């Protein structure tokens, strides 16, 4: 009797392990059967994408180019490679469900042989939990492909944003350095004013604090730039090395923002949304009412979430456009003031420090315009990826 109990326990353990650890490879494509492909997305075309030797060598160079990020993430990112290496290419939804369900059935069968009603109830509850967990985790090969594909495209977008932020940080560093110089000039001015009785101790302390703040801002900007580059390189499957060159980005938008029609783009975004399609397939594959209803709620709420997400991204574009316009105005005003300052300086009406302040304002305003261009590019790229169906809902 004791031996039978141990054997039953061993069998249960093995089946539980099988339910949670599915060993799978994708060295060759199994016949996926009668699969209804989504927006012509096929595993063969994406996972087995062919790269020439020349192209692979190009991608392995110590260079990151914005337009190469898609291929570098696909070929060399460890997380993405692991996803595709473990993709369940040879299992149908029924195959996967059966493996989990076998474990649940063993728990149900074992419940009847327990010594107490409490133990039996606990075993039945575990069996039900296993069945629901099986239903939530088990899905067909193609649905798993869509999940992996979505994860890859989202990582591509986040990597592109890292590249944009890294390059934008160069102008933020310029502003930080300019701010230190300006704050030091103001501190010197406050020191002289106090020395000759034209200023106060409070004004000097305020000026000194401004220097400390400016220096702290520079350290923070430098740290951010290093973080952006490190994450960018790692996402591209490259070592976090200073030897790798990040090529300048073309800030062309590839989209006429003035012609955006949110309602039309929403229809496209909804039809393309991969997560929305995954929910639909999960509902079709679900065996239990609990899981079916859970995914129905997600599926039914998805269209509103997709619309709100797209609308927010569109608002980000509008905000970025407003910022760009305002900074253009600020630059024009700074340049006008510099022209006046140069004239006043030539006539001896202002000091060298005041002229340098006018030049500082032009420099910062000019850098701010470049920063705004990167922010607009980020907003537009994020919007475009939402239209392509790569946003969560």
Alpha-carbon distance of 335 to 363, in angstroms, equals 9
Give the Cα separation of 337 and 152 in Å (integer).
Answer: 49
Query: What's the CA gap between 175 and 259, in Å, rounded?
Result: 34
Residues 12-36 as b or e (16 or more Cβ within 10 Å = b): beebbeebeeeeeebeeeeebeeee
Q: Which residues, at least 6 apart from 25, have a Cβ–Cβ distance to it below 8 Å?
A: 85, 86, 89
41 has which bridge partners? 38
Q: In a 10 Å sphere around its CB, with 0-12 CB exposed, 13-18 middle and 19+ buried, how is residue 41 labelled?
A: middle
**Nearest partner of 24 among 152, 153, 144, 106, judged by Cα:** 144
What is the end-to-end Cα distance of the chain in Å, rounded?
A: 53
One digit per residue, pLDDT tens: the chain, 393 residues?
333 444 444 444 444 444 433 333 333 344 555 678 999 999 999 998 999 999 999 999 999 999 999 999 999 999 999 999 888 666 565 666 676 667 667 767 777 666 677 777 777 777 676 666 666 666 678 888 999 999 999 999 999 999 999 999 999 999 999 999 999 999 999 999 999 999 999 999 999 999 999 999 999 999 999 999 999 999 999 998 889 999 999 999 998 999 999 999 999 999 999 999 999 999 988 878 888 999 999 999 999 999 999 999 999 999 999 999 999 999 999 999 999 999 999 999 999 999 999 999 999 999 999 999 999 999 999 999 999 999 999
User: Residue 33 is encoded by which pair of tokens?
Assistant: 């059967």
The predicted pLDDT at position 14 comes to 43
Pull the structure tokens for residue 142. Answer: 């193609």
Mention every residue, 6+ apart, whose C-beta is less than 8 A from residue 54.
none
CA distance 216 to 339: 32
For residue 244, how far is the Cα from the chain centroid?
22
3-state SS assignment for residue 41: strand
Neighbours of 234 (CB within 10 A): 16
Could you write out the three-class secondary structure of 220-280?
Answer: HHHHHHHHHHHHHHHHCCCCCCCCCEECCCCCCCCCCHHHCCHHHHHHHHHHHCHHHHHHH
Q: What six digits make up the tokens of 264?
A: 């039309």
Q: Bridge partners of 63?
A: 245
Rounded to the nearest 5 degrees, what angle is found at the Cα of 386, between the Cα atoms of 385 and 392?
115
The per-residue pLDDT for 345 is 96
Pair 258, 325: CB distance under 8 Å: no
* pLDDT at residue number 242: 87
Cα-flanking dihedrals φ and ψ of residue 74, to 5°?
A: -65, -40
Instruction: Quote the CA–CA distance of 168 and 371 in Å, as a whole number.
Output: 6
Q: What's residue 16's pLDDT?
A: 42
**pTM, 2 dp:** 0.82
Length of the chain: 393
Q: Within 10 A of 358 (CB to CB), how many other CB atoms are there? A: 21
The dihedral of CA 346, 347, 352, 355: what is its sign? negative
CA distance 11 to 167: 57
**63-64 and 245-246 as β-strands: parallel, antiparallel, unpaired?**
parallel
């Amino acid at each position: 009797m004791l031996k039978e109990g141990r054997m039953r326990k061993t069998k249960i353990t093995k089946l539980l392990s099988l339910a949670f650890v599915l060993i799978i490879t994708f060295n060759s494509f199994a016949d996926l059967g009668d699969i209804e492909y989504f927006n012509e997305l096929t595993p063969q075309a994406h996972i087995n994408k062919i790269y020439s030797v020349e192209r692979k060598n190009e991608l392995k160079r110590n260079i990151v180019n914005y337009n190469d990020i898609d291929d570098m993430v696909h070929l060399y990112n460890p997380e993405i490679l692991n996803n595709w290496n473990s993709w369940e290419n040879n299992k149908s939804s029924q195959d996967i469900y059966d493996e989990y369900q076998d474990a649940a059935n063993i728990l149900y069968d074992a419940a009847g042989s327990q010594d107490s009603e409490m133990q039996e109830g606990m075993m039945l509850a575990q069996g039900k939990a296993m069945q629901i967990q099986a239903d939530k985790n088990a899905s067909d090969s193609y649905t798993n492909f869509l999940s992996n594909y979505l994860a890859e495209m989202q990582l591509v977008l986040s990597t592109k944003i890292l590249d944009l932020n890294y390059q934008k940080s160069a102008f933020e560093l310029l502003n930080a350095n300019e701010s230190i110089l300006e704050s030091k000039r103001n501190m010197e001015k406050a020191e002289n004013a106090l020395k000759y009785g034209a200023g106060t101790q409070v004004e000097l302390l305020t000026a000194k604090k401004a220097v400390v703040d400016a220096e702290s801002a520079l350290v923070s900007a430098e740290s951010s730039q290093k973080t952006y580059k490190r994450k960018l390189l790692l996402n591209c499957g490259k070592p976090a090395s200073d030897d790798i060159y990040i090529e300048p980005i073309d800030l062309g938008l590839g989209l006429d923002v003035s012609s955006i029609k949110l309602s039309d783009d929403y229809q496209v975004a909804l039809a393309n949304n991969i997560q929305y399609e995954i929910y639909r397939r999960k509902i079709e594959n679900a065996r239990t009412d609990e899981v079916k209803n859970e995914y129905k709620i997600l599926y039914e709420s998805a269209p509103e979430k997709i619309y709100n997400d797209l609308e927010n991204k569109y608002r980000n574009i509008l905000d970025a456009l407003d910022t760009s316009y305002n900074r253009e105005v600020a630059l024009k005003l700074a340049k006008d003031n510099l022209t006046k300052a140069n004239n006043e300086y030539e006539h001896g009406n202002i000091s060298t420090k005041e002229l340098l302040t006018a030049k500082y304002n032009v420099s910062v305003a000019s850098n701010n315009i470049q920063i705004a261009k990167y922010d607009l590019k980020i907003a537009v790229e994020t919007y475009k990826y939402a239209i392509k169906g790569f946003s969560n809902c």
